[in-house]
Protein backbone atom coordinates (compact mmCIF):
# COMPACT_ATOMS: atom_id res chain seq x y z
CA UNK A 1 0.00 0.00 0.00
CA UNK A 2 1.18 3.49 -0.79
CA UNK A 3 1.52 4.74 2.78
CA UNK A 4 3.28 1.65 4.16
CA UNK A 5 6.41 1.62 1.98
CA UNK A 6 9.82 1.71 3.62
CA UNK A 7 13.47 1.25 2.69
CA UNK A 8 14.71 -2.29 3.17
CA UNK A 9 18.21 -3.52 3.96
CA UNK A 10 19.34 -6.97 2.75
CA UNK A 11 18.12 -9.62 5.17
CA UNK A 12 15.93 -7.20 7.11
CA UNK A 13 12.83 -8.72 8.72
CA UNK A 14 9.60 -6.99 9.68
CA UNK A 15 7.39 -7.79 12.66
CA UNK A 16 4.24 -5.77 12.00
CA UNK A 17 1.77 -6.77 9.32
CA UNK A 18 0.72 -3.90 7.05
CA UNK A 19 -0.91 -3.55 3.67
CA UNK A 20 -3.91 -5.14 2.01
CA UNK A 21 -4.52 -8.67 3.31
CA UNK A 22 -5.40 -10.03 -0.12
CA UNK A 23 -1.70 -9.60 -1.01
CA UNK A 24 -0.21 -11.09 2.18
CA UNK A 25 2.06 -14.12 2.10
CA UNK A 26 2.09 -16.70 4.90
CA UNK A 27 5.09 -15.04 6.54
CA UNK A 28 3.25 -11.69 6.72
CA UNK A 29 0.45 -13.41 8.66
CA UNK A 30 3.18 -14.71 11.01
CA UNK A 31 4.52 -11.13 11.34
CA UNK A 32 8.05 -12.22 10.46
CA UNK A 33 8.79 -11.35 6.86
CA UNK A 34 11.32 -9.83 4.50
CA UNK A 35 11.48 -8.50 0.96
CA UNK A 36 10.16 -11.72 -0.58
CA UNK A 37 6.74 -10.89 0.86
CA UNK A 38 6.68 -8.12 -1.77
CA UNK A 39 7.53 -10.68 -4.46
CA UNK A 40 4.51 -12.70 -3.30
CA UNK A 41 2.34 -9.56 -3.52
CA UNK A 42 3.61 -9.03 -7.09
CA UNK A 43 2.55 -12.60 -7.83
CA UNK A 44 -0.94 -11.90 -6.48
CA UNK A 45 -1.14 -8.79 -8.66
CA UNK A 46 0.02 -10.65 -11.77
CA UNK A 47 -2.36 -13.53 -11.05
CA UNK A 48 -5.18 -10.98 -10.90
CA UNK A 49 -4.14 -9.45 -14.20
CA UNK A 50 -4.28 -12.88 -15.84
CA UNK A 51 -7.45 -14.25 -14.24
CA UNK A 52 -9.41 -11.24 -12.99
CA UNK A 53 -9.55 -12.53 -9.41
CA UNK A 54 -7.38 -13.13 -6.35
CA UNK A 55 -5.56 -16.48 -6.06
CA UNK A 56 -6.52 -16.91 -2.38
CA UNK A 57 -9.53 -15.91 -0.29
CA UNK A 58 -8.38 -16.89 3.21
CA UNK A 59 -5.20 -17.24 5.25
CA UNK A 60 -5.60 -21.02 5.14
CA UNK A 61 -5.65 -20.91 1.34
CA UNK A 62 -2.52 -18.72 1.31
CA UNK A 63 -0.76 -21.38 3.36
CA UNK A 64 -2.13 -24.55 1.74
CA UNK A 65 -4.01 -24.05 -1.55
CA UNK A 66 -2.19 -24.84 -4.78
CA UNK A 67 -2.34 -22.00 -7.26
CA UNK A 68 -4.57 -22.75 -10.25
CA UNK A 69 -3.74 -20.91 -13.44
CA UNK A 70 -5.52 -21.06 -16.79
CA UNK A 71 -4.21 -23.76 -19.11
CA UNK A 72 -4.40 -21.46 -22.12
CA UNK A 73 -1.89 -18.92 -20.74
CA UNK A 74 1.66 -18.68 -22.05
CA UNK A 75 3.98 -21.20 -20.35
CA UNK A 76 6.54 -18.51 -19.48
CA UNK A 77 3.78 -16.39 -17.95
CA UNK A 78 2.59 -19.31 -15.82
CA UNK A 79 6.12 -20.05 -14.66
CA UNK A 80 6.63 -16.36 -13.82
CA UNK A 81 3.51 -16.14 -11.66
CA UNK A 82 4.11 -19.49 -9.95
CA UNK A 83 7.67 -18.48 -9.06
CA UNK A 84 6.34 -15.42 -7.23
CA UNK A 85 3.47 -17.26 -5.49
CA UNK A 86 5.74 -19.98 -4.07
CA UNK A 87 4.53 -20.56 -0.52
CA UNK A 88 8.00 -21.08 0.97
CA UNK A 89 9.81 -17.75 0.92
CA UNK A 90 13.17 -19.58 0.82
CA UNK A 91 12.32 -21.06 -2.59
CA UNK A 92 10.27 -18.08 -3.85
CA UNK A 93 11.84 -16.09 -6.68
CA UNK A 94 13.93 -13.10 -5.65
CA UNK A 95 13.87 -9.76 -7.47
CA UNK A 96 16.77 -10.76 -9.75
CA UNK A 97 14.96 -13.94 -10.81
CA UNK A 98 11.76 -11.96 -11.44
CA UNK A 99 13.60 -9.34 -13.50
CA UNK A 100 15.48 -11.90 -15.58
CA UNK A 101 12.61 -14.35 -16.09
CA UNK A 102 11.74 -15.27 -19.69
CA UNK A 103 8.37 -13.57 -19.29
CA UNK A 104 9.97 -10.21 -18.43
CA UNK A 105 13.02 -10.41 -20.66
CA UNK A 106 11.09 -10.08 -23.89
CA UNK A 107 11.48 -7.93 -26.95
CA UNK A 108 12.02 -4.53 -25.31
CA UNK A 109 12.69 -2.84 -28.67
CA UNK A 110 9.14 -3.63 -29.77
CA UNK A 111 7.73 -2.54 -26.43
CA UNK A 112 9.69 0.72 -26.56
CA UNK A 113 8.41 1.36 -30.10
CA UNK A 114 4.99 1.96 -28.51
CA UNK A 115 6.39 4.80 -26.39
CA UNK A 116 4.87 7.53 -28.56
CA UNK A 117 1.45 5.89 -28.17
CA UNK A 118 1.60 5.83 -24.36
CA UNK A 119 0.27 8.70 -22.28
CA UNK A 120 2.97 11.14 -21.20
CA UNK A 121 2.51 11.41 -17.43
CA UNK A 122 4.00 14.91 -17.20
CA UNK A 123 1.61 16.13 -19.90
CA UNK A 124 -1.30 14.35 -18.23
CA UNK A 125 -0.45 15.99 -14.90
CA UNK A 126 -0.14 19.46 -16.42
CA UNK A 127 -3.58 19.00 -17.98
CA UNK A 128 -5.04 17.77 -14.68
CA UNK A 129 -5.91 14.41 -16.22
CA UNK A 130 -3.56 12.44 -13.99
CA UNK A 131 -4.99 13.97 -10.80
CA UNK A 132 -8.49 13.23 -12.01
CA UNK A 133 -7.65 9.62 -12.90
CA UNK A 134 -5.69 8.88 -9.72
CA UNK A 135 -8.34 10.56 -7.58
CA UNK A 136 -11.08 8.51 -9.21
CA UNK A 137 -8.99 5.36 -8.88
CA UNK A 138 -8.31 6.02 -5.20
CA UNK A 139 -12.02 6.57 -4.53
CA UNK A 140 -12.92 3.33 -6.31
CA UNK A 141 -10.27 1.41 -4.37
CA UNK A 142 -11.48 2.87 -1.06
CA UNK A 143 -15.07 1.92 -1.93
CA UNK A 144 -14.03 -1.63 -2.87
CA UNK A 145 -11.91 -2.00 0.27
CA UNK A 146 -14.82 -0.79 2.43
CA UNK A 147 -17.15 -3.22 0.66
CA UNK A 148 -14.77 -6.15 1.25
CA UNK A 149 -14.17 -5.11 4.88
CA UNK A 150 -17.90 -5.06 5.55
CA UNK A 151 -18.24 -8.59 4.15
CA UNK A 152 -15.25 -10.04 6.01
CA UNK A 153 -14.58 -10.20 9.73
CA UNK A 154 -10.89 -10.28 10.69
CA UNK A 155 -9.85 -11.78 14.01
CA UNK A 156 -6.12 -10.98 13.87
CA UNK A 157 -5.12 -14.34 12.43
CA UNK A 158 -7.06 -14.05 9.22
CA UNK A 159 -10.62 -13.86 8.01
CA UNK A 160 -13.28 -15.65 9.97
CA UNK A 161 -15.43 -15.72 6.83
CA UNK A 162 -14.01 -16.11 3.32
CA UNK A 163 -13.61 -13.07 1.13
CA UNK A 164 -16.05 -13.38 -1.80
CA UNK A 165 -14.45 -14.55 -5.03
CA UNK A 166 -13.48 -11.59 -7.19
CA UNK A 167 -14.22 -11.29 -10.88
CA UNK A 168 -12.73 -8.71 -13.21
CA UNK A 169 -13.98 -5.19 -12.63
CA UNK A 170 -16.13 -3.26 -15.06
CA UNK A 171 -14.36 0.04 -14.46
CA UNK A 172 -13.52 2.07 -17.53
CA UNK A 173 -11.97 5.50 -17.75
| 8 Å CB contact between 104 and 43 | no
pLDDT reported for residue 128? 56
More confident site: 156 or 3:
3
Q: Is residue 132 part of a domain?
A: no
Q: Is residue 11 part of a domain?
A: yes
Q: Is residue 129 part of a domain?
A: no
Which structural domain range is residue 66 located in?
Answer: 2-105
pLDDT reported for residue 124? 55
Give the CATH number of the domain where residue 28 resides: 1.10.510.10
| 8 Å CB contact between 82 and 69 | yes
Number of domains into which the chain is organized: 1
Q: Is residue 47 part of a domain?
A: yes
70-85: pLDDT as tens digits = 888 888 889 999 999 9
24 has pLDDT over 60: yes
Q: Is residue 75 part of a domain?
A: yes
Q: Is residue 33 part of a domain?
A: yes
- The verdict on pTM exceeding 0.95 is no
What would the mean pLDDT of 28-49 be, rounded to a whole number?
A: 92
Q: Is residue 26 part of a domain?
A: yes
Q: How far apart are CA 125 and CA 129, in angstroms?
A: 6
Q: Is residue 20 part of a domain?
A: yes
pLDDT reported for residue 161? 46
Q: Find the length of the chain.
A: 173
79-136: pLDDT as tens digits = 999 999 999 999 999 988 998 888 887 666 666 665 665 555 556 555 555 555 555 5
- Tell me phi and psi for residue 10, to 5 degrees: -55, 130
pLDDT reported for residue 4? 73
CA torsion 47→164→2→59, rounded to 10°? -80
Amino acid sequence: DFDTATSVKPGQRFRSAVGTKAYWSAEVYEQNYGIKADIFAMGVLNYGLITGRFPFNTETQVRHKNVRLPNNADAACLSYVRSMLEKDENTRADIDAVASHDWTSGDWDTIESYEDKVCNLEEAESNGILSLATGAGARLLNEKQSELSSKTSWNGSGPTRPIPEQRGSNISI
